[in-house]
A = this chain, B = another copy of it.
Amino acid sequence: MSKVKVSFSVSIDGFGAAPQQSLENPMGVGGEALGEWVFATRTFQRMHGRDWTFQRTPKDGGTTGVDDDFFARNFLNVGAWIFGRNMFGPVRGPWRDNSWKGPWGDSPPFRGPVFVLTHYPRESIPMQGGTTFHFMTDGIHRALEGATAAANGKDVCIGGGVATVQQYLRAGLIDELSLAISPVLLGSGERLLGDIDLVKLGYTCTEHVAGQRATHVVLVRHATY
């Protein structure tokens, strides 16, 4: 069955983003440390090299193993994505023009429909490589309905950021939350779980695997109603 899933990196002290997010520091100042386990993986290095085939060959750079497996899993069987406006870029308020197309270049790695939450309507943007950005102005539930229909039986992945994940968690709409706990301290920023009670929401930890640069835990929601 298709599911709604999230993969997110958090610091030891629970932050999913560092303070002072900007175009230069999309994860906040110092926040890139959260992703170090990602950057080292073969899957990421292939994506960075703009080779979206995800085939692994012995000559590839980057690490294989647990971290690589978990990062690759993010992209497996995903039929559609949902991003918060913050994640799509630092632009705020009404779209002044159509020049901003996200921070991922002409050929983003999503290779399918990406639903961007925003208060301001905008025409969809088809990109190279199969990614199309759609702008959803009717709230998180309508965005999920659109993404689920577009995913056509595959999974929907909520890509972030923190505020968007929190909204979907509180609404009880996320089936599986895969957290990578990075061995860093951020001290301040956006706490991913904040005051969210995952037990009351019906989650339990079903996997706990140590990678080389992060510890991966998978939290699955069992229907509580």
Contacts and interface: CB of A to CB of B under 8 A. Distances in A.
A159 B218 CA distance: 30
Contact of A188 (B13, B197, B203, B204): B197
Contact of A187 (B186, B187, B199): B199
B215 A210 contact: yes
Interface in A189-209: 193, 196-201, 203-205, 208
Contact of A217 (B12, B14, B186, B198): B12
Interface stretch (A48-56, A126-134, A176-184): A176-184
B210 A187 contact: no
A184 B13 CA distance: 16
A39 B215 CA distance: 21
Secondary structure class of chain A's binding surface, majority of residues: loop
A4 to B, nearest CB: 18
Interface string A117-154: 00000000000000000000000000000000000000
A62 B196 CA distance: 35
B187 A217 contact: no
Contact of A179 (B12, B184, B186, B200): B12
Contacts of A203: 185
Interface in A12-60: 12-14
Interface residues of A, number: 26
A187 B200 contact: yes
Interface of A: 12-14, 179, 181, 183-188, 193, 196-201, 203-205, 208, 210, 215, 217, 219
Given A181-B181, A187-B201, 18 more contacts: A12-B179, A12-B181, A12-B217, A12-B219, A13-B196, A13-B198, A14-B14, A14-B193, A181-B215, A183-B208, A184-B205, A185-B203, A185-B204, A187-B197, A187-B198, A188-B197, A188-B200, A210-B210
14 contacts: A12-B179, A13-B196, A13-B198, A14-B193, A183-B208, A183-B217, A185-B205, A187-B198, A187-B199, A187-B200, A187-B201, A188-B197, A188-B200, A208-B215
